[in-house]
Structure formats: C-alpha cells, structure tokens
Amino acid sequence: MRPLKTFLFLAMFSFIAVTAYCQTPSTCPSSKGAYYLQGNEWTPMDRVDSIGFKTTNIAGAAFSYGAAKAHVKAIFRDSESPYQLKGNPFAMCLVGITDTGRDISIAQFQQRKNRRELPMASYRLWTGYNVQIEPKSIIPVSVDKKADEVYLVTTKDPLPDGEFVLFTIIPDIAAMIKANTKTSLGGYDFGNR
C-alpha cells in the first residue's frame, strides 16, 4: 500500500510541476514594445531590420534557358540573435506595436557563418516571380488578443532549434523587389537552443 501512495504522490507532484512550467502568464506587460518570455519574466526586445537582399543562382537560371530558379533572400546581420529562448516554451507579447493580430507570422532563418538569410522570392524565366516567404520557413502560431493592441503569440508546436523572426505585418515582398529605393524588412528576431 505504501509504494502505491508514494507513486501517486510523485505522479501528482510531477503533473503540477510540468503544468506550472508549461503555462504562460495570462497578462502581458503594460509598456509599449515586444517582449519574450524567459522563465517567468517578460524580457523586452529591439526591432531588427534586414541589411539588404541578395540574388542567388542567376547563372543557373540563365544557362538553363529559364528552367532553373533564381532566388531572392533578405540578409540580416550576425549569425545569432541576442535574444535566446534556451529551450523554453515560446511566448511573446506585442504591446502597442501592431493594430491587428491577423498578420503576425514567424519565419525560420537559414543560418550562415556571419549572417542569417530568409528566402523571399524566386524567379523563373517562363513562369515569372513567386513572391512569398518560403512556406517551409513559416512556423504556425496562435495569436490571443489580450486587450486593444495587446497580443500574446505562442507556437502551436515546440520550436525547433534555430534562428527566427516574428513579423507584425505580412511583408509586401513584390513592392520591395520592384522598388528603386532602398528597402528594408524588419521584425523581432530570436533564437532557440
């Protein structure tokens, strides 16, 4: 009888501990800004902007008579974000920086030695531009409106290891590519280890 009571006590204690760890706070900070959850504390974040764009596989597209694709990628400085989740469940609060939660999205970077890249578009001579963030880079999210212009963003599944960016608007990539002026793509970057 005693081993059964001990087992039940340990099972109940483990359930309570895991439940407490996995729950995100129900309230967001009150000051304007973007915050990520580190343990039980909301940590403020700074916005990051791309430093430029690059096109790859131009020669492949030219020498294949348009059968191969040329790719456009946004470039972000540094190989890692200063904001690292360290395996914690993902939760971000956006306070006063977006009017709607409908356009919030998260994309995973391709990491390089001294930068991060985000595939933005491809071009094929015969089919033209495919202007969208690569679908395999998009991470599904849940957006919970807590108040006017206050949104709690969580992921539906645990985040894989890597570097990510959260956009508060759906980027108009077509306009960025066609524009003759300097363009930038920005959001809130973070990593998960």
Q: What is the pLDDT of residues 131-171, one digit of tens each?
A: 678 888 999 999 999 999 999 999 988 889 999 999 988 66
Q: Is 80 exceeded by the pLDDT of residue 69?
A: no
Inter-CA distances, 131 with 71, 135, 163, Å: 10, 11, 22
Q: Is 50 exceeded by the pLDDT of residue 112?
A: yes
Q: pTM above the 0.95 mark?
A: no
Say how far apart CA 72 and CA 132 lie, in whole Å: 10
Mean pLDDT of the residues in the chain: 79
pLDDT band at 124 (very low <50, low <70, confident <90, very high): low
Which percentage of the chain shows pLDDT scores above 90?
39
Whole-number pLDDT of residue 62: 60
pLDDT band at 87 (very low <50, low <70, confident <90, very high): confident
Q: Is 70 exceeded by the pLDDT of residue 78?
A: yes
Q: What is the pLDDT of residues 28-68, one digit of tens each?
A: 999 999 999 988 899 999 999 988 888 776 666 566 666 67
Domain ranges of the chain: 24-192
How many helices (H) and strands (E) are present in the chain, helices listed first?
3, 15
Q: Is 90 exceeded by the pLDDT of residue 81?
A: yes
Question: b or e along 69-103 (b: 16 or more beta carbons within 10 Å of the residue's beta carbon)?
Answer: bbbbbbebeeeebebebeebebbbbbbeebeebee
